[in-house]
Each structure stands twice: as C-alpha cells, then as structure tokens.
A and B are shown apart, each in its own frame.
Chain A
Amino acid sequence: MKEPQVTLDRPKLTFIQKCKTMRGQQIICTITFLIVPLLLLFTFTYLPFFKMVQFSFYDRDYLRVRGFVGLRNYIDVFSRSDCFQALKLSLYYMVGSVVQITLALLFATILSFKVRGSKFFRGALYFPCLICGIAVGFIFKFFLNPGFVLDTLLGWIGITNTPNWLENTAINNIVLVACSLWKYMGQNIVLFIGAIASVDPVLYEAAEIDGANAWQRFKCIIIPSIRTIVVLNLILSVSGALSAFEMPYVVTGGTFGTSTYFVVMNKLAHTDMKVGLASAMAVVLLGIIVIVTFIQKFAEKKMDEAENRPRHYIADGKGGRK
C-alpha cells in the first residue's frame, strides 16, 4: 500500500521543482518583456491623461502655474463662443461619416463581385489614405483655389458662377468634410470588402439558384452579414466626427469659421498657451468619447445576442416550410 504512494510522490516533487524553475523563468521573461511597453504606455498615455485632469483645474501655461481656478475652465469651455460652438461643426462631420459609410458600403459591394479592374478601382479609392496630411492640405488648397482645378472642371460642364470654396462660410465646412471623405473613405471600403469576403459563399450560390437579383442579394445576404461591422463603424464615426482635426488644420488652418473643437484646443494650448483651458476641453471631449464607446460596446453585445437569434429563426422557418 505504501509503495505506490512513494512512487507517486517522487515524480510529483521533481515535477513541482521543475515547475518552480520554469515558473521562475517565466516570471523573469514576463517582467523583461513587459517593462518597456508598460513604461511607454504609462509615460505617454496614462500620465498625460492624469496630468490633463489635474491641469484642467488650474490657470497655467507650460511652465508657470498662475493659480487654482476650480471648475472655471470647465465653465469657460461651455460658455466661450469659440469652444462649444466648435462642437456644432461636428454635426457636419457626423453627416459626412454617414455619407462616407453608405458610399463605402456601395463601393465595397460592387468591388466584392466580378468587376473588371477591381484592383485598380480599389487602389485608386484607397490610396489617398496613404498620403501625408500636409501634402493633402496643399493638394486641396491647390484644387479648390478660385479659378483652379475644381472651377475648371465645373466650367467644362457649364457651371461658371462658383463660390470661393474655402472662404465662403456657407459651404466651406461642407467642402472640408468632402476632403475628409476623399481621404478616409478608402479605409471603410477595404474594411467592408474584408467583411463581405468573410460571408459564406454558399449563401450567394443558394441565392443565385433561387433567382435572387443583385439588390436582393445585397439586402438579404450582405447587409445582415456585415450589419455588426457597419453599425460599429457608424458609432465609431461619432467620436471621429467630434475629434475632427486634420482637414481644417491642414487646408484652412481653422480660418473662416472652420475651426473644429480640436483646432480650437490646439490653438489654445500651443499658441495662446492656455494649457489649463485646453486640458479642460480635452477632458470634456474624452468624457463624450467614453460615453459613445460605452454605447458602442453595449450595441456590440446586443447585436451579438440578436445575431444568434435570427439563425434559430431561419432554421425554424425552414423547418416550418417543410
């Protein structure tokens, strides 16, 4: 009776010892591999975040603190005409995002099926994403300059009485949204093409046999299959629109009423040296983004749950038809 216990114990001990050395090694490895990325993450993401919250309660520039002001910076964010007004511009960018996602969905669908030169079209639509922001700024300053490219093109089709695209406050924000669409739509297209490619091809074959036309295939197969990614992108674009920065910064520099929230914040922080106020602006926007993200996560969870249900539903329906 005793002997088997002994033989069981002995390998157990050596195994534990082995584990201990392995475990020790693992800990050393974990620490050495983690220390650099965590240090960087802390220094350039979390420390700035906490500092931002702290700064937002002070009147200060980069070097000097002029005093604790409590919530006054926050009150200023909501009452100053330049800060909170700028958030209204986000509405343009939100509408722009909806248009962008709709168009991207259209082109992704077209490009997902047999199209001559699909590689060329996808490349042409995607390439603007890879151009440096400053270069994009110059390209559009040139493109939209009165009498230059856009006006010439419109002249060809008989439209001559054109406004000053970047200085007319009635349209310049729409023009900037269009520029932003030009640069970023390709990303959505590539994403959606990837999502459509992951749809089971059997579904298309079945639809083809059943005689479904292109629109029916789009409505009944593609949309339900990639619904999650589309909705998530739509919600994501809300935070994108709120933090719109690049186009007004590089094309107009925020002049003629095109200063979005971040352009105002950037100017306050780095030109006017009102670091406290700029920090408060950043904290407010971050708060909004966190809320939006919670909504997004919630929607993702709901849709995951909902997506499991229709599958049963379809299965039941088939069973019922029999």
Chain B
Amino acid sequence: MEKSVGAMKFQRGLISVVKYVFLIFAAFVALVPIVSCVITAFKSVEEYQSTNVMVLPRSWTYFENFKTAWQQADMGSAFLNSFFIVICVLVGSVFISAMLAYVLNRFKFPGNGLIRNLFMIATLIPGIASQVTVYQIMTALNLVNTMHGYIILMLGTDVITIYIFLQFFENLSVNLDESAIMDGCTYFGAFFRILFPLLKPAIVTSAILKGVSTYNEYYMAGLYLQDKTRFQVVSTSLYVFTGPMGSQYNYICAGVLITIIPALIIFLLCQDQIYSGMAAGAVKG
C-alpha cells in the first residue's frame, strides 16, 4: 500500500517535472528571437562585427543604435502618423460597430438576418485577396495616398469589433433601454445616454484589439500610403532597413524593438482584456 502511494508520488513528481520542462522550453523558444534582438541592439558597430550574436553587450546603456534607427527610419513622424490613424480608427470603429450592433440586436426589421449574414460572409474573404480590386476602387475614389482614405479603409474592414459589440448587447438587458424610452427618451437618446456608457468593457476590449491590429498593419499601409515622406507609419518605417542597411543588424534590432515597445506596454497593462476579447472574437469569427 505504502509502496503504491510512493509510486504515485513519484509519478506525480515526474509529471510535474516534465510539465515544467515543456513550459520552460516553450517559453525559451518564444522569447529567444526577441531576446537576441535586445542583445544585438545594445552593441556598437565594432562590437557587433567582432563578437558572436549571443555574446552579451559590453554596456546595457549604449543607446546609439536606437538613436540612429529612430533617425534613419524617421520614426518621430511615423509614430505621430500611426497615433493619429489609430485614434481615428478606434473612435470611428467603436461608434460604427456599437451603433450597428444596437440596431441589429434591439430592432426587428426585414433584412436584419441578411445584414448579419453579410457581415459573417465578409470574414471568409481573405484581406489579401480582395486588395487586388480594392486597390482599383481606392484609385477610382482618389483615396490612394491619403490619410483619410486609409482610415476609411481600415474602418470598413472591421468585423471582430462588430462581433464583440453584438455579443455584449446580447447580455445587456432590454429593460434598460425600454424603461428609458418609457420615460420619454428617443432611441438615439437611449443609445447614447443609457447604453453607450454601459458598453465600456466592450469598448475597452475592442479598442485594444483593433488598436494593436491597426498599429501592426503593414500590408495595406504599404499599398495605400506609398508616399513614405508624408504618410509613413511605424510598421512600414522598418522598410528603411531593407536596402543598403539590410545587414546592419545592430540598427535593425534597435528599430524592431522600438516598434515592439508600444505593443508590449499595451500587452502588460491589458492582458486580461486581450485574452477575453480574443476568446469573444474567435467564438463567432
């Protein structure tokens, strides 16, 4: 009897050792590419050329690479542009999606189901595929190489936010807006004064997800904001390093880290919202 208890303990111990070995190995694999970038970003040019990439830098306060990368990629204006775009897209998509979800969830009208299905089917079309003709439409509308054109496009290709709001409205009691309307509120009033403030959790979740994805978007930014001097965003600013600087990884790593930092900060601050939003978006998406 005691033997089997011992055996069980041994087995449990073994399982937990294996478990941690797996986890540590996975975390190592996940982090090593990023950590190696950090190491190289702090090395001076001679140091980068003379030492192995995994040798730690002499000084962790050597910020010259970051300065050079910042200037070379003109990241100051890139961050300003990205910030402006993200804010516009967030405000726009939160209002558009919340209003759409409100109407679809609260009102019965012919075409309600059809509209839901249209948004659902839209998720099937891979973004890259439709860009072939979206580019032509954008050209026809004179929206290529304009900031507002890009913002409108980013607003238009947004379905996850809509799902998050639709789900949230499902769980929001109808009594709230009904009583507001009984008290003489209009539907607009009920939405903006009563419901919109209650949407805060959904707004935060969708804003984080949409914000990060807008900030990271590079394919459409490369296609529709081709004028690099005026409309460069953070993600495409890294393209500077593909030309003659393509092998100077001490600068490249510094540039890469600069672009990652905002996402890292958001991630550290809002982990739980990101996880819950991911789950919500994926259930239907």
Binding between chains A and B: yes
A residues near B (Cβ < 8 Å) are: 22, 25-27, 29-30, 33-34, 36-38, 40-41, 43-49, 51-52, 55, 62, 106-107, 110-111, 115-117, 119-128, 130-135, 138-140, 142-143, 145, 148-149, 152-153, 182, 186-187, 190-191, 193-194, 213-214, 239, 243, 245, 249-250, 262, 265-266, 269-270, 275, 278-279, 282, 285-286, 289-290, 293
* B253 pairs with A142, CB closer than 8 A: yes
Q: Chain A residues near B157 (CB, 8 Å)?
A: 44-45
Q: Choose among A27, A30, A37, A132 the residue that contacts B96 (Cβ–Cβ < 8 A).
A: A37
Interface-located stretch among B19-27, B59-67, B198-206: B19-27
B residues near A (Cβ < 8 Å) are: 11, 15, 19-20, 22-23, 26-27, 29-34, 36-37, 40, 52-54, 96-97, 99-100, 102-103, 107, 109, 115, 118-119, 122, 124-126, 128-137, 139, 152-153, 155-157, 162, 181, 186-188, 191, 212, 215-216, 218-219, 223, 234-236, 238-239, 241, 249, 252-253, 255-256, 259-260, 263-264, 266-267, 271, 274-276, 278-279, 282
Q: Choose among A22, A36, A51 the residue that contacts B136 (Cβ–Cβ < 8 A).
A: A51
Bound Cα distance A46, B152 (Å): 16
Known A-B contacts A62-B135, A134-B238; the reply to A282 vs B129 at CB < 8 A is: yes
Known A-B contacts A131-B263, A142-B40, A149-B53; the reply to A55 vs B133 at CB < 8 A is: yes
* A130 pairs with B212, CB closer than 8 A: yes
* A45 pairs with B156, CB closer than 8 A: yes
B interface, over-half SS:
helix
A-B contact number at CB 8 A = 243
* B126 pairs with A140, CB closer than 8 A: no
Bound Cα distance A133, B252 (Å): 14
Q: Chain B residues near A190 (CB, 8 Å)?
A: 275, 278-279
* A49 pairs with B252, CB closer than 8 A: no
* B278 pairs with A187, CB closer than 8 A: yes
Sort A-B residue pairs by CB-CB distance and give the 10 closest, nearest first. A40-B156, A44-B156, A194-B279, A282-B129, A33-B99, A29-B187, A132-B216, A48-B133, A51-B133, A124-B27
Q: What are 28 A-B interface contacts by the 8 Å CB criterion?
A: A27-B109, A33-B191, A38-B115, A40-B152, A43-B137, A48-B132, A49-B133, A52-B129, A107-B23, A111-B23, A123-B267, A128-B34, A130-B266, A130-B267, A131-B216, A132-B215, A132-B218, A133-B218, A138-B252, A138-B256, A139-B33, A140-B33, A142-B53, A265-B129, A266-B128, A282-B132, A285-B126, A286-B126
A interface, over-half SS:
helix
Q: Choose among A43, A123, A127 the residue that contacts B156 (Cβ–Cβ < 8 A).
A: A43
Q: Chain B residues near A133 (CB, 8 Å)?
A: 216, 218-219, 235
* B264 pairs with A138, CB closer than 8 A: no
Q: Given known contacts A130-B212, A142-B36, A143-B33, what 19 new A-B pairs fall within 8 Å (CB)?
A: A41-B119, A41-B122, A44-B156, A45-B125, A49-B133, A55-B133, A62-B135, A107-B23, A122-B275, A132-B218, A132-B234, A134-B259, A135-B259, A190-B275, A213-B11, A214-B15, A275-B136, A279-B132, A286-B126
